[in-house]
Structure 1
Amino acid sequence: MTIHGDHPFLPPESERSPVRRLRGRLPSPVGLWTTVYDGKRAGLTVSSMLVADGEPGSVIGLIDPDSDLWETLRQARTAVVSLLGEGHQQLADAFGYVAPAPGGPFRMIDWTDTAWGPAPVGVSAWAGCTLVSTDPPEAGWALQVQLEIVHVELTPDETPTLVHRRGRYFTL
């Protein structure tokens, strides 16, 4: 077995999409979207997302249409959107399917069951949300999924927020 310093499946920079390379230069918050339906939990690390204030507030994210999260979210119609912080890099990689998680990523930390799905214990913020449409528009390779924010939990803002830029994690 060989351990690589770079991502083993990443194409050379010259073969990558220029649009994806542009997006990669933007610092993005690292969110974790989780849901549960009929006892089956699903989650996905999402860094292509934004939060829109309003009545109601919304979270909009780009979600892989082939992901377990999307399949389960379409059925559950509820989700928890959490902001990951310092120390959550391995969790983000496990839910992003780029790192191993023996027993599955839900075994890596403790969770609180909520009306919207599992919320990770120890995050600085999470929102309980409902799915706006089970037929969202496509946006490039992804679905542009919109969630309506129903409930927000915030802790004192002392934990640095995890940010993703050009394939690396940083904290703000």
Structure 2
Amino acid sequence: MTIHGDHPFLPPESERSPVRRLRGRLPSPVGLWTTQYDGKRAGLTVSSMLVADGEPGYVIGLIDPDSDLWETLREARTAVVSLLGGPHQQLADAFGYVAPAPGGPFRMIDWIDTEWGPAPVGVSTWAGCRLVDNDPPEVGWALQVQLELVHVELAADEVVPLIHRRGRYTTL
């Protein structure tokens, strides 16, 4: 068995989409979107997202329409959006389904059950959100999912944020 330093299924750079390569050069926050409905938990690492200020505020993210997260979020209509930090790299990979997580990624750390879904213990910033539209528009390969910010938790001791750029994690 050989362990590769790069992703084993990644096509050569010359064969990748120029749009995807442009997007990959933009540093993005690493968020973890989680939800729960009828006893089923689902989560997904999301780095294609932004926060829009206002009354109310919104989180807008690009979500895979075939993901367990989207299937469960449509039913639950609520979610927790957590901003991951440097210590959460393995958690990000597990919820991005690019690293093994024996027993599933929800077994990797402890969780707090909130009215919006499960929130990870040890994450300094998270928000409880409500789904705006059960039928969001398609944008490229994804759904443009809009969540209304209902509740925001900001810890006094902020964790150094995890950033995704060109397929790799880094911190500020």
Q: TM-score, normalised by structure 1?
A: 0.98
| Residue 11 (structure 2) pairs with residue 11 (structure 1) | yes
C-alpha distance in 2, partners of 1:158/1:68? 30
Number of positions where the alignment pairs a residue of Structure 1 with one of Structure 2: 172
Instruction: Give percent identity, aligned residues only.
Output: 88
Aligned counterpart, 2:65: 65
Specify the code of the residue in structure 2 equivalent to 1:91.
Answer: L
Specify the code of the residue in structure 2 equivalent to 1:105.
Answer: P
- After superposition, the CA RMSD in angstroms is 0.7
User: Which 4+ runs in 1 deviate beyond 6 A?
Assistant: none
C-alpha distance in 2, partners of 1:2/1:62? 33
Deviations 1:84-128 (A, max 9, x none): 001100000000000000000000011000000000011110000
For structure 1, the residue ranges without an aligned partner over 5 or more in a row are none
Aligned counterpart, 1:150: 150
C-alpha distance in 2, partners of 1:31/1:156? 19
For structure 2, the residue ranges without an aligned partner over 5 or more in a row are none
Deviations 1:37-73 (A, max 9, x none): 0000000000000000101100000000000000000
Residue correspondence of structure 1 range 45-56 to structure 2 within 5 A:
45-56=45-56
Aligned counterpart, 2:166: 166
Give the C-alpha shift of residue 157 in structure 1.
4.7
Specify the code of the residue in structure 2 equivalent to 1:111.
Answer: W
Give the C-alpha shift of residue 5 in structure 1.
1.0
